[in-house]
């Protein structure tokens, strides 16, 4: 009789320590718990609220460029410590730490490849490496990529995800990269070649005030934070309350700072169409 009285289902209650780490991610926007494999298949966009998670530089390149076409430039270029910077952590220690965590030499990856079989040069900053801030290596690699695009008459795409602006560890050497990158882009523009700037969350400070802000077409991902300094600092400076959504993609599109907002799933096809138009 016990056989017929047995429950249909056996309920197993797992303790938190029995659940493997690294399988789930909590959405920063809607707090939905997302299975990592599903999230990656959706290009790291929350299927519930469309929140766009940050992507690493190589992840971004793999999404945008045709398979096995990317050839990286200046892969082994590394930063030095011109100021012998010391603080709670030295600059050398910070570089070594982020190199170990990300597998990158610095905060940008650049090179050439094909996007829908169109030859293009691309550079992508990575916010995981000292917040994607612009030091000498970032400026030099973007400048070299731009000069290569000019020399070879290729279009240029730069994807920015940099919340750190100019890198304080390098002082004036970092600030110089703003004018250097813009000068290279000026010659690229004068040659009649296309430069498309893609802004992701966040794109701020010296990066936004230099190469990221001077594209022939400026695209942003949804709800990306874009600006020179953060809303809290601005409010404290001007002693006024800022409008809702200030410095988000949607606000900036409405006020003319950017040209379009494109969902990550549609970014490659949009870039492909633009390259056709601008060529």
Of 31-35, 144-148, 247-251, 268-272, least confident by mean pLDDT is 31-35
Q: What is the arithmetic mean of pLDDT over 27-32?
A: 84
| 136 closest CA partner among 93, 100, 102, 91 | 91
pLDDT value of residue 74:
93
Q: Record the tokens describing residue 130, joined without a space.
A: 């000292």
Q: Per-residue pLDDT for 72 more than 80? A: yes
Q: CA 16 → CA 10, 13, 21, 24, 32, distances in Å?
A: 19, 10, 10, 13, 18
pLDDT value of residue 23:
84
Distance of CA 126 to the CA centre of its chain: 5
Instruction: Kindly report, residue by residue over 215-271, the tens digit of the pLDDT.
Output: 999 999 999 988 888 778 887 888 888 877 788 999 999 989 999 999 999 999 999
| pLDDT band at residue 12 under the 50/70/90 scheme | very low
Sketch out the chain's domains with CATH numbers.
19-53 (no CATH), 55-278 (3.90.226.10)
Quote the CA–CA distance of 1 and 89 in Å, as a whole number. 70
Instruction: Kindly report, residue by residue over 82-134, the tens digit of the pLDDT.
Output: 899 888 889 999 999 999 999 999 999 999 999 999 999 999 999 999 988 99
Distance of CA 21 to the CA centre of its chain: 26
Of 30-39, 53-62, 102-111, least confident by mean pLDDT is 30-39
Query: What's the whole-model pTM score?
Result: 0.85
């Amino acid at each position: 009789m016990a056989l017929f009285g047995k429950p249909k289902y056996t309920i197993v209650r797992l303790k938190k320590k029995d659940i493997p780490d690294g399988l789930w991610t909590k959405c920063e926007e809607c707090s939905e718990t997302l299975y990592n494999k599903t999230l990656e298949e959706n290009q790291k966009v929350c299927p519930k609220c469309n929140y766009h998670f940050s992507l690493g530089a190589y992840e971004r390149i793999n999404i945008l460029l045709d398979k096995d076409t990317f050839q990286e430039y200046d892969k082994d270029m590394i930063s030095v410590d011109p100021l012998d910077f010391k603080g709670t952590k030295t600059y050398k220690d910070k570089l070594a730490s982020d190199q170990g965590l990300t597998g990158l030499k610095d905060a940008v990856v650049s090179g050439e490849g094909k996007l829908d079989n169109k030859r293009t040069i691309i550079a992508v900053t990575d916010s995981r490496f000292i917040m994607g801030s612009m030091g000498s290596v970032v400026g030099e690699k973007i400048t070299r990529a731009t000069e290569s695009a000019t020399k070879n008459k290729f279009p240029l795409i730069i994807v920015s995800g940099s919340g750190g602006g100019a890198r304080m560890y390098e002082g004036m050497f970092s600030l110089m990269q703003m004018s250097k990158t813009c000068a290279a882009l000026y010659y690229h523009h004068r040659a009649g070649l296309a430069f498309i700037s893609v802004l992701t969350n966040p794109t701020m400070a010296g990066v936004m005030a230099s190469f990221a802000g001077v594209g022939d077409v400026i695209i942003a991902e949804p709800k990306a934070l874009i600006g020179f300094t953060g809303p809290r600092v601005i409010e404290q400076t001007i002693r006024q309350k800022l409008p809702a959504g200030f410095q988000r993609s949607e606000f900036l599109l409405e006020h003319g700072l950017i040209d379009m907002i494109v969902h990550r799933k549609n970014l490659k096809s949009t870039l492909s169409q633009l390259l056709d138009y601008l060529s």
